Amino acid sequence: MNLKQLLSAMKEDQDFSQRLTAWAENSARPARHDTLSVDLHEELARTMKQRGIHRLYSHQVQAVQTALQGSNPVIATPTASGKSLGYIIPILHQTLCEPSTRSLLLFPTKALAQDQRSNIQSWIEELGADISTYTYDGDTPPNVRRTIRSAGHVVISNPDMLHTGILPHHTKWVRLFENLQYIVIDELHTYRGVFGSHVANVLRRLLRIAQFYGSDPVIIACSATIANPEQLAGRLTGREFELIDESGAPRGQKHILLYSPPVVNAQLGIRQNSLIAARGLVRRFLSNGIQTIIFARSRLQVEVLLSYLRHSVPRANIRGYRGGYLPGQRREIERGLRSGYIDGVVATNALELGIDIGSLQAAVLVGYPGTVASTWQQMGRVGRGKEVSAAVLVASSNPLDQHIINHPEYFFSQSPESALINPDNLLILVNHLKCAAFELPFSRGERFGGQQVEEILNYLAEYRILHQSDGKWYWMAEGFPAEDISLRSASRENVVIVDTTDNEPSVIGEVDEFSAPMLVHEGAIYLHETQQYQVEKLDLEENKAFVRKVDVNFYTDASMAVEVGVLDVMQQDECSTHDRYFGEVRLTAQPTKFKKVRFHTHENVGWGDIHLPPQEMHTSAYWISLDESVAGHFGKSELESGLLGLANLLAEVAPLYLSCDRNDLYVINQVRSPFTGRPTVFICDAYPGGVGFGQKLYDVEDQVLQSCEDLVRSCECSQGCPSCVGAVKEVSSLAKEAAVRLLHYLSAAQYAG
Amino acid sequence: MSTSDRLKKLQRYGLLPASPASSRQQDRLTATGWPAELGFSLCPESGVALRSKLYCHSHMQGRVCLGELAELHPADLCLLTRVQRQPASWEEVLFLDTETTGLSGGTGTYVFLVGMLHWTEDGLLLRQYLMPDPSIEAAFIGKVLGGLQPFEHVATFNGKSFDMPLLSHRCTMNRTDRKPDFDGHHDLLHPARYLYRDSLPSCSLSSLEQYLLGVERRDDIPGAEIPERYFLFLKDRHPSLMADVVQHNATDLLSSAALAVHLLKVADSPADERSARISLALGRLSQKAGCTQTARRYLSEAVASADEKLYPEAAEELSLLHKRAQRWQDAVSLWREMIQRIHESERGVFCSVFAHVELAKYHEHRTGDLEKALHLTSGAIRHIQRRRRILGASGSGEDRRRLEELRHRQQRLQRRLGVSSASD
């Protein structure tokens, strides 16, 4: 059956279609073209014709014209609408007209950079022009680096390399900076949260250096669909942008299905596991020869699902794709998908970005990806061109998933989230000011991204990192500040995973230092392309985990104990029922135990202790504490359960308002907090120093509490379930009712101010 | 909350590094006594500090008399440093050494002290330029470039990858049009390594001083402490902080000059005063510098005086030099000699195999004596096989590769000779 036939068969299948809460059909749309009002260099015009590009889509025309006029375009059209031509054309045109022109392209990952390099290279070869393009990243061999610095017309890199490899050595890049005409920021939407806040500061530094060398580059940004591309581009660069978001590209018909797995135990509110539900669905696609991409929510889910699928569709060539696979293996999988010899791929959001894997036909999303923007991005992975495609969202039992799947009208009408960054987070800002001073002395009155920074510079001078003299601040310390700052997460080092099964140990993958205690603690089962490995030793000093191949019928899942202590209150407010706070806290996190979970049945078949030192972190948080007058309405165990239920609800709802991931927050409840002396729930930022989540929650508290109440009230379970306050056996049967009552009190309250 | 309060808080939580608090001493930027105490004088317009000192020609740096430079040809420097342009006199050569605020490089690393030493009629003149504050860096770099300008050649120790690029980056940072520019940059680290890496524990300047020059440094400041001294000096201008650094820089320069004397004397001395290993290294260096004749002389000396251990290396090198120059007679007789001096050491066997192969190639392609070529090839194969028997079956991959090549050659020769018997 082809996809069209399969879809009609699915429509007629009662068992299947009654599990659907929505079946939407996005209709096909023809292309909209436009003509450039400027003449392109004749060689470029000829090459475009050769490539079969006779006319450009309207959004491409808009982007090219904006850039050529010297304004900054931000292109926010759907996946596969041909955004990259929006910068390739102006760059090639300008470089052909004026060969000294230099351009710098930034991609969030090395893989994307390499992809785009080969694309641009193919243009150059057809042009037959003397234009050179290179990727410049950690993998670039030292002997090539010199050539790139002086002769590379189009340098393709990533923010991390710009941060540590290019800016601190800008005197080696004089040719690039003196002639920098275009900066391209592709996958703009990935620069949000902590990472985005860092990147904004790296870009402040970049523009400062460009100015030093007398250039004033045009910035071209490309973004997936988010609510605020123009604002994000502006916040990241401090420049004004022209928004281009009307796509002129044609679109094929796309079926969007929302699938809710059946409840298998009504009393406990337990639903069929979303992985198992997805397995059946994917089998249908794959056994009909329909190339399918499956998005799972975590690395572990990728591996578990992959092993299920290989078991149930043995003839199909199915691969995994996630962070931690080595680059060579990833490239091989991407090629396999393009050429079609791989039938299916189970991926994390690592494949959400614009990596070229050709056009797939069906996408299955196991679990709501967390944001509307991300959902559309993943669904956009299928149906390039005019062909019919299908995307299915399989909801898990967690509350947010259930909320989305039961309110399809909300999902379809909701505009994608905003991407938030806070470049002025003090910790991030201070660190980048050090780097900036290392790159170029600061002058009195000089602003950094529009910020007054004199106070910070004085502080750094006081601590003898900078030297102040004659109205300037000079870097006067040993060392290399950029090397101490990682843009991506709190930890810089990766733990490499070493397979010691054979005589010759080999590296099979890596995990970041922060996740290591959870994923590769001693005794953990580490899954890599469905092969199971047991961790024999985790050496956190050497950053190595030693594993050995095993064959067991379970996987492991670790749990973490997190404690919180208040360090300082920045803002507080009280009302008749509760107090709200925003302040700074110390978190102590320690992995404690791991469960052994049997494949397929997901039953718990044992557990083990984890012996690892606690990790400590200082961050910001929002917390609320209940007034005695409210707490007094509840019995002791009632209060305990209600608070736990409330914490679980907040943990699910808060990310909606912060456009962050569930894992970017720690939610902790204390029946009697040592700080407030009252029942308290903390929501903490998972990044050292915090990126402003606490402040934001403090400001939108009423909306968050309202959403929690809506969610728990609209849940159909009787005493609580994993889709609202949590599973009954974990939160007790009192939780749901107690949480509803708690929320009722809380949302009725009014703050004086 | 003010920014500074928030900063203090971050620091209290350990999120910002707690540096040692500043000594809060009186800001002595305006202090005037320090240049004189250090022997420097301040240039009134630019604020750059300059110190000069003349060392007489009889000055001894360790066991080396610097005046000996006069008896050595500056042009011979090129042999050691592979520089094309030859200095005509020592007056053209400037010894240079810099002190910096760090070794990690990058735009935040400053050069704050530049020492220059050069030959004059009256003796060796040392000039040191000190940057009293980074705010006058442009002027400082200008003065340094002015000091370098009259010289066609610069000699440094490890300056090729460090001092000169750094100076050049500082020029870029100050947007000066000029850059340090020389006909020849002679880096003495390279030849010192070539000559002594096998015989000395390290080829750092201090190790060379200790073992070759007889220089003993007393109370020398370790290089790693120099940046911190400068940072402190910027704060309170205490002359004693800089005195050690200034002395360190001067000693480095004098030792570089002494090292040049030493290296040139070694190169210039009669063969019997040199070890075969040094002759071999000199031969290789001059070969790289393109001085074939000189290379032949050194290598011949090395072959003549080599012990069993060094002989294969030296002979191979020399025979290849002959071969490239198409001095076939010399080459052939050396290959024959090599075969006669077979040794059971690993290197010896390779050497013998090498000579067999080279002779076989010679006969195959030059004299056309294919029989001889085949005979030599089979001889080489036997050598390797014997060695593999002695070592057991675990012969190295290198052995296998050679053997394969030889068999290929053997078969080709057999084909050309019309011999059909299979090889053993």
Q: Hey, what domains does chain B have and what are their CATH numbers?
A: 34-268 (3.30.420.10), 278-330 (no CATH), 342-424 (1.20.58)
Measured distance CA(A383)–CA(A361) in Å, rounded: 6
Q: Confidence band (pLDDT; 50, 70, 90) for A492?
A: very low
**A142 interfacial to chain B (CB closer than 8 Å):** no
Tokens of B296: 């032949």
Structure confidence by residue, pLDDT tens digits, A453-491: 999 999 999 888 999 998 999 999 988 899 888 787 544
pLDDT reported for residue B84 = 87
pLDDT reported for residue A441 = 97
Which residue matches tokens 């299916």? A344
Measured distance CA(B203)–CA(B158) in Å, rounded: 11
**A689 interfacial to chain B (CB closer than 8 Å):** yes
For A27-36, A401-410, A441-450, B250-259, which range has the lowest pLDDT when averaged over its residues?
A401-410
pLDDT reported for residue B394 = 52
**A690 interfacial to chain B (CB closer than 8 Å):** no
A469 contacts B234? CB cut-off 8 A: yes
Option in B6, B107, B172 nearest A426 (CB): B6
| Residues of chain B neighbouring A472 (CB-CB closer than 8 A) | 134-135
pLDDT reported for residue A225 = 82
Residue of A nearest to B175 (CA): A213
Put simply, the chain B residues between 43 and 102 with a CB less than 8 A from any chain A CB are 101-102
Measured distance CA(A653)–CA(B188) in Å, rounded: 68
| Residues of chain B neighbouring A430 (CB-CB closer than 8 A) | 7, 10, 16
pLDDT reported for residue A513 = 67
Q: Are A556 and A547 in contact (CB under 8 A)?
A: no
pLDDT reported for residue B28 = 44
pLDDT reported for residue A406 = 82
A618 contacts B14? CB cut-off 8 A: yes
Q: Residue A185: what are its φ and ψ, rounded to 5°? A: -115, 100
Using left for φ > 0, alpha for ψ between -120 and 50, and beta otherwise, residue A281 falls in alpha
Test the A interface: residue of B1, B2, B4, B6 with most A CBs within 10 Å: B6
Which residue matches tokens 């992809």? A115
DSSP conformation letters of A468-518: EETTEEEE-SSS-GGGG--SSSS--PEEEEEE-SSSS-EEEEEEETTTHHH
The alpha-carbon gap from A154 to the nearest alpha carbon of chain B, in Å, equals 22
**A451 interfacial to chain B (CB closer than 8 Å):** no
Option in B14, B104, B172 nearest A171 (CB): B172
| Mean pLDDT value of segment A84-102 | 96
C-alpha B134: how far from chain center: 31
pLDDT at A555 over 50: yes
Test the B interface: residue of A438, A476, A567 with most B CBs within 10 Å: A476
Q: Which residues contact B15 (CB under 8 A, 6 or more apart)?
A: A427, A618, A688, A689
Query: Which residues of chain B register pLDDT less than 50?
Result: 22-29, 421-424
Q: Are B262 and B212 in contact (CB under 8 A)?
A: yes
**What 3-state class would DSSP assign to B423?**
coil
Structure confidence by residue, pLDDT tens digits, B237-259: 888 889 999 999 999 999 999 99
Residue of B nearest to A209 (CA): B173
The mean pLDDT value of chain A amounts to 88
Structure confidence by residue, pLDDT tens digits, A648-696: 899 888 877 776 767 778 889 998 888 888 999 999 987 766 767 888 8
**B393 interfacial to chain A (CB closer than 8 Å):** no
The alpha-carbon gap from A436 to the nearest alpha carbon of chain B, in Å, equals 9
pLDDT reported for residue B424 = 43
Test the A interface: residue of B7, B28, B103, B230 with most A CBs within 10 Å: B7
Q: Are A499 and A326 in contact (CB under 8 A)?
A: no
**A463 interfacial to chain B (CB closer than 8 Å):** yes
A426 contacts B7? CB cut-off 8 A: yes
Q: Please name every residue paired with B129 in a beta bridge, in sequence order, or none if there are none.
A: B50, B114
pLDDT at A495 over 60: yes
A440 contacts B107? CB cut-off 8 A: yes
More confident: A123 or A267: A123
| Residues of chain A neighbouring B22 (CB-CB closer than 8 A) | 462-464
B134 contacts A441? CB cut-off 8 A: yes
| Mean pLDDT value of segment A326-347 | 88
Q: Which residues contact A415 (CB under 8 A, 6 or more apart)?
A: A227, A372
Structure confidence by residue, pLDDT tens digits, A144-183: 999 999 889 999 999 999 999 999 999 999 999 999 999 9
**A567 interfacial to chain B (CB closer than 8 Å):** yes
Residues in chain B: 424
Option in A168, A568, A618 nearest B107 (CB): A168
**B19 interfacial to chain A (CB closer than 8 Å):** yes
Residue of A nearest to B2 (CA): A455
| Residues of chain A neighbouring B164 (CB-CB closer than 8 A) | none
For A26-35, A57-66, B340-349, which range has the lowest pLDDT when averaged over its residues?
B340-349
| Residues of chain B neighbouring A440 (CB-CB closer than 8 A) | 107, 173
pLDDT at A17 over 80: yes
Q: Are A610 and A672 in contact (CB under 8 A)?
A: no
